[in-house]
Amino acid sequence: METVLENNPDIAVAGSTMLQLDYPWKINEMGAFVDRVTGKLILNRHLETIPSWQGYSASELLDKDYDLTKHLVHCQSYTDVEYVAAASLLVNAKVAKQAGIWRDYFIHFDDVEWCLRMADMGYRIVVSAKSLIWHLSAIAKIPTWILYYDNRNVQDLLANHGSSPTALKNLQRYILKKGAYYHIVGKPDLAQLHYDAVDDFNNQIYGKKDITLKHTYQNNNEIGQVFMDSTIERVLISWPINVYAMGIQTAIVKAQIQRPKLQIDWIPIPDGEILPQVPRARFLKPIPKLMFMRLINYWRLRGNYDLVVQSDYQPSIFLSWLKADLLFINDETFCRRNQPKLSNVLKAIWKYLTYKGNN
């Protein structure tokens, strides 16, 4: 990357290609482009596979030829983009001094804004195919407090880089819509982060925020206490749950042995083969395809369970309304929550529908 900067005075920033740490043969991003209306990052060559590397670990790949121009079709030694991650980049010192320091975002979108700022000054932003890093992919990260910074900072990003007042208002309404979604699914504290993000942007409040969430996550190796809780007798587990990836199979089996009356039911994969993940698994009937029939099916399950276990990666709104406590789990952590409140949901929807922007 150093050579790229030295040989091309019109290039201000050169960044590395980022591959996924959990799937080291997959590209996470070869730089990215920015949707100036929504603020969405469009990751370049996202999830593209390097066939000759498949099956190798990141440490094993360090010994291989790392020049991606030899492994990918239509791959240049460096490519023009709008943004490269600060996780690994080089910047022309003279241009950096002219551009100034990062915006006070604390975390997320600060590197995006910096790249756009230098691009607005007339310089190029490029990503190298010969400089690689491995980074934990975003899909493996469950957003909690970070949602505040993502939603606050993207508003400032667009406000400073060409977004119209109408587009900005639409973005804010979309953020409030996401807040309503989190109320509906049973995560009201995450909904509040979205409201705070809009309010703080409107009031020009930046930097680090003191965030305290009502519900916190625990490590999955502590989940045994949940299944051993005597107040929980009937448990429903949704089909996206993978007990092997989440490391909870042993805890479930031990609970079944020590508590013979513990009832654990599973929702099978829609239109898929029934695949038991623990001994003595009890499966419900497959969920219907038609939305109307699906709603009837979920309605019949209301009140039948004490706890509903959902995947953080693929939650179901309907399962959050079965008159039961909720447990959301991912590959590393889990969080117990209460069922949603209709009054909060209605207020959230009204807030979204009636928002008119910062007048």
Whether 138 shows a pLDDT value over 80: the answer reads no
pLDDT at residue 351 in the model: 95
Please check whether residue 82 is in contact with residue 116, taking contact to mean a CB–CB distance below 8 angstroms.
yes
Of 292 and 84, the structure prediction assigns the larger pLDDT to: 84
Mean pLDDT of 83-93: 94
pLDDT at residue 100 in the model: 95
Q: 110 Cβ partners below 8 Å, 6+ apart?
A: 86, 102, 103, 153
The CA distance from 36 to 266, in Å, is 43
Whether 140 shows a pLDDT value over 70: the answer reads no
Task: Express each pLDDT in 50-85 by its tens digit.
Answer: 998 998 988 888 888 889 999 999 999 999 999 999
Whether 158 shows a pLDDT value over 90: the answer reads yes
**CB-CB neighbours of 340 under 10 Å:** 20
For tokens 């680090």, the residue is: 208
pLDDT at residue 359 in the model: 61
Domain ranges of the chain: 2-138, 146-215+344-354, 218-339
Please check whether residue 90 is in contact with residue 3, taking contact to mean a CB–CB distance below 8 angstroms.
no
Burial of 99 (C-beta count, 10 Å sphere; 0-12/13-18/19+) = buried
The CA distance from 85 to 62, in Å, is 20
Task: Express each pLDDT in 302-343 by its tens digit.
Answer: 999 999 999 999 999 999 999 999 999 999 999 999 999 999
Helix (H, G, I), strand (E, B) or coil at 59: helix
pLDDT at residue 186 in the model: 95
The CA distance from 5 to 52, in Å, is 30
Whether 104 shows a pLDDT value over 70: the answer reads yes
pTM of the model: 0.90
Q: What mean pLDDT, rounded, does the chain reach?
A: 92
Which structure tokens are listed for 193?
Answer: 């982060």
Whether 265 shows a pLDDT value over 90: the answer reads yes
For tokens 């043969």, the residue is: 25
The DSSP line for 157-201 is HHHHTT--HHHHHHHHHHHHHHHHHHHHHT-HHHHHHHHHHHHHH
Mean pLDDT of 134-146: 80
Helix (H, G, I), strand (E, B) or coil at 325: strand
Whether 113 shows a pLDDT value over 80: the answer reads yes
- The helix (H) or strand (E) run that includes residue 127 is strand 124-135
For tokens 């980022």, the residue is: 18
Sign of CA dihedral 28, 190, 225, 281: negative
Burial of 85 (C-beta count, 10 Å sphere; 0-12/13-18/19+) = buried
pLDDT at residue 271 in the model: 74
Return phi, psi of residue 9, to 5°: -65, -15
- For the chain, counts of helices (H) and of strands (E): 12, 14
Percent of the chain whose predicted confidence (pLDDT) is above 90:
77
Please check whether residue 336 is in contact with residue 312, taking contact to mean a CB–CB distance below 8 angstroms.
no
Mean pLDDT of 155-179: 93
Whether 107 shows a pLDDT value over 90: the answer reads yes
